[in-house]
Structure 1
């Protein structure tokens, strides 16, 4: 599931052009460049965690990234590291991710990565007119994890998530997922 999402994210990231970097995205004040930089930092952090689950410190900070935008290099590196870690059984071990709240079972950290990749993949695809359609099973899994971990105090101005956007209970699962993450599922650059 997660490796397919990372492949899709790599495709969308590779489809971003220099002219698109200043386009708005559904992610609040983040333009395409800011989402890419956020993903570069976050995915580098996850790569570090899966490379060495026991490390107490991580070189990358998932909340910000001050270096160059090398998202196109980070995604395949993360995919390779994650594939090896999954093969080695990381899902059943404890992974230290201090910037994300402590130590968690590897399967939980994989789910943290999943919601990051699905949501921001949608942000980038929507902003740049690309296709983003993870399968319903992946979206259902990600939405269930979101509902389990996102606390009300994490929502609002200046917080990690906006208020949940209202959608019909029978809306497509991807729409419900991005709405739960605080995005308008019908967002387009024209409505920004």
Structure 2
């Protein structure tokens, strides 16, 4: 498999981030599905449904389709919620394995962009929503720093601070002096790292 050397290939990072998310979904109890999350529009069940959608949109883009044809929130199965997510991410990874040129455009929800940029943005989304899920359900929320750094760089390119208000992300939050790498990343994504589902 070859790609342009000018285009970063974040497919392995996205796959690793998706597996982290799947492990977090494994840790969600049935009694936690209606808990609030740092995304004010989502409870835990809706957030997982949105993660389903993200995986499906990644696959559809790889297959040459329009990501906006996939609903905003996917429907959860009665059981095997993490398996449902893993099956979607595996399908997306197979589809992306067939693409050699990551500079070619794909149809993302926000418009036509190079494939590499779409992958970077979905890496950022997976880590941000993984953090959302972890803190909402009381699980360890620190992601692998090797994934956080490229996700932050992708977010800085794709979700610049000056566009907040024009795009559906809150203002960048100044991180605390002792913030972890993941907390600094979610601060860039507009999240308050001090969120508590009990608040």
TM-score range (shorter-chain normalised) is 0.7 to 0.9
Q: Which residue pairs with 1:79 in the alignment?
A: 89
| Structure 2 match to 1:43 | 55
Give matches, 1:109-128, under 5 Å. 109-128=118-137
Unaligned segments of structure 1, at least 5 residues: none
Matched residue pairs, number? 183
| Structure 1 residues 71-103: Cα deviation after superposition (integer angstroms, max 9, x where no partner) | 53443233323433443344525242242212x
Contact 1:48 1:58 survives alignment (8 Å)? no
Whole-angstrom distance in 1 between the partners of 2:48 and 2:95: 24
Runs of 4+ that moved beyond 6 A: none
Please say if 1:164 is aligned against 2:176.
no
Query: Which TM-score applies when normalising by structure 1?
Result: 0.81
- Unaligned stretches of 5+ residues in structure 2: 1-12
Q: How does the TM-score come out when normalised to structure 2?
A: 0.79
SS at match of 2:109: helix
CA distance in 2, matches of 1:57, 1:146: 19
Q: Over residues 106-134 of structure 1, what are the superposed CA-to-partner deviations in whole Å (9 max), with x where a residue is unaligned?
A: 22221121011000000001100112332
In 2 relative to 1, CA 91–16 (structure 1 residues): closer, same or farther, beyond 3 Å? Answer: farther
| Distance apart, 1:27 and its partner CA | 1.7
The CA RMSD over aligned residues, in Å, is 2.5
Q: Would the aligned equivalents of 1:49 and 1:58 in 2 still touch at CA under 8 Å?
A: no
